[in-house]
Amino acid sequence: MLLKLGLTENVFKFIGSYTVVAATDRVLVFTVSAPSTGQAVSRAAALAAEFLRFRASELLMQQRQAIGSLDASVKAAGQRTARIAAEIARVSGQTSSLAQRAELARLQASWRQAVAAQAGLQTAKASYQANAQVTTAAMIAGSRVLDGAAPVPRSKVRSPAAYAVAGAMVGLLAGIAIVMIQELTSSRLRRRDDIAVALGAPVELSAVRPSRLWRRGLAAARGQGVQRIDRYLRRALGRARAGELSALAVVALDDTRAAALSVASLAVALAGAGKHVLVADLAEHAPAARLLGVRVPGVSDLTVAGQQLTVAIPEPDDVARLGPLDGRGHGAAGQYRAARTADGPLKEACLQADLMLTLVTLDPVAGAEYLPTWAAGAVVTITAGKSSGTKIHTAGEMIRLAGTPLISAVVLDADKADESLGMRLRSGAQPGERSRTARLSGVVPG
């Protein structure tokens, strides 16, 4: 822009020559200073035009990123369908037998489910793309210059100090306006109601994000935020039963450290209460296991804070990542894996355990078919304002397609101005529909 105006001055000096004030929540006022009236008018006009161009490019970029994310999900679903089809072709060529026919029927059921999931993602992508194009075009077309640049009479009475104070206030307002624009155009969710609708599960707890205390290790478990999450996860364990074993998966959507700290501290507390606890860390770099002092894959028995614990880390090359549970009673995906579970030391550790806590991170490309073999219920941790609605909805769909009951969400760093509850969806409702009832118990303002 400096080249267009024919200016050779420093960029920072030019930035200091203008201020931006938010007259309303939809109107910005640019005030530009220059050596002459004509230069001030031309600079103001150029600044306004550049701002409109930048805003349009930002809106279009966000639209492309969202569509790209949906494209990746559709591609991953197509790859999964192709893999199952290839497996069907391989099994079909085998000698006909009772086992071959049973395997073929199972694969065909999985293929139909994968085709339905792919079709759903394609429909969602087409719907979003059509709506996003109209919305973005309307926002770009609606952004324009209301009044052309005109010279402003300068007072000869006010002192330079008064102008300095006024400039500071205008700068503050400009920063607020920029933040407001970013928030209005952002697809990241902050409100509990919006998160619950996108995830398809209620928000039953809000707490301070404990990952800020990560460097303190397990000593951070004494913090109020960690204690609040631990108390809730204890209750959720009672709702995630696999026979005699309570098995809960804590799914970290965006802040893996916060979830890892909660899992590790809860495991130590439960072990102190006389429970035999098995901690499984399926997250990248195994942060929960590292907090407990385990860094190598495998099953390890150890003593932490005077308490006996068992920690399991899958091998890095274990693509299936099957756990010790049989998965029965958790939908079609669980029945598919009823005869495919981990064995050896992991199975033995599971049989001896009273409780199993599993830390999980989800990848749409890899899927979550293994989840029912690790847990009988899942709680998702989400940081307010950090994940988009598409990412949250995708995580909920992956958990449901895997066949694992999705118990609820825990929202970290919830906005203090958020007065919504995080409504529970009606039975059979679609993720876009809000329930007429809300869970009052367990919602604690952060």
Burial class (CB in 10 A: 0-12, 13-18, 19+), 55: middle
The separation between CA 261 and the C-alpha centre of its own chain, rounded to angstroms, equals 18
Are 197 and 432 in contact by the 8 Å Cβ rule? The answer is: yes
In 10 A of CB 252, how many CB atoms? 25
- How far apart CA 29 and CA 21 sit, in angstroms, is 5
Q: HSE on the CB side for 49, CA within 13 Å?
A: 11
Are 270 and 262 in contact by the 8 Å Cβ rule? The answer is: no
Question: Looking at residue 263, what is its pLDDT?
Answer: 94
- DSSP codes joined into one string, 354-396: SEEEEEE---TTT-STTGGGT-S-EEEEEETTTSBHHHHHHHH
Are 273 and 445 in contact by the 8 Å Cβ rule? The answer is: no
Question: Looking at residue 443, what is its pLDDT?
Answer: 36
Beta bridge partners of 30: 20
Which residues, at least 6 apart from 308, have a Cβ–Cβ distance to it below 8 Å? 271, 276, 301, 302
Alpha helices in 1-97 (DSSP H): 2-5, 11-15, 37-92
Which tokens in the block code for residue 114?
A: 């994968």
The separation between CA 285 and the C-alpha centre of its own chain, rounded to angstroms, equals 19
Beta bridge partners of 20: 30
Kindly report the pTM of this predicted structure: 0.55
Which tokens in the block code for residue 416?
A: 């203090």
- How far apart CA 350 and CA 247 sit, in angstroms, is 10
Q: Which of 41, 43, 35 is nearest to 5 (CA)?
A: 43
Q: Which of 119, 114, 121, 117 is nearest to 81 (CA)?
A: 114
Q: Which of 216, 253, 249 is nearest to 225 (CA)?
A: 216
Using alpha carbons only, how large is the chain's radius of gyration in Å? 28
- How far apart CA 167 and CA 14 sit, in angstroms, is 15
Beta bridge partners of 309: 302
- DSSP codes joined into one string, 11-28: HHHHHTTEEEEESSSS-E
Residue with tokens 């938010």: 22
Q: Which of 181, 188, 191 is nearest to 25 (CA)?
A: 181
Q: Which of 376, 409, 378 is nearest to 392 (CA)?
A: 409
Residue with tokens 């078919």: 369
- How far apart CA 242 and CA 283 sit, in angstroms, is 22
Strands 203-207 and 406-412: parallel
- How far apart CA 231 and CA 104 sit, in angstroms, is 45
Per-residue pLDDT of the chain (446 residues; tens, 9 = 90+): 555 655 656 667 777 778 888 878 778 888 887 777 777 788 778 877 888 888 788 888 888 888 888 888 888 888 888 888 888 888 888 877 888 888 888 888 888 888 888 888 888 878 877 787 778 777 777 777 877 777 766 655 555 667 788 888 888 888 888 777 766 666 889 899 999 999 999 999 998 777 666 667 787 777 788 889 999 999 999 998 887 889 999 999 999 999 999 999 999 999 999 999 999 999 999 999 999 999 999 999 988 878 889 999 998 877 778 899 986 544 334 444 444 566 688 999 999 999 999 999 999 988 899 999 999 999 999 999 899 999 999 999 999 999 999 999 999 988 888 888 887 554 344 443 434 333 333 333 33
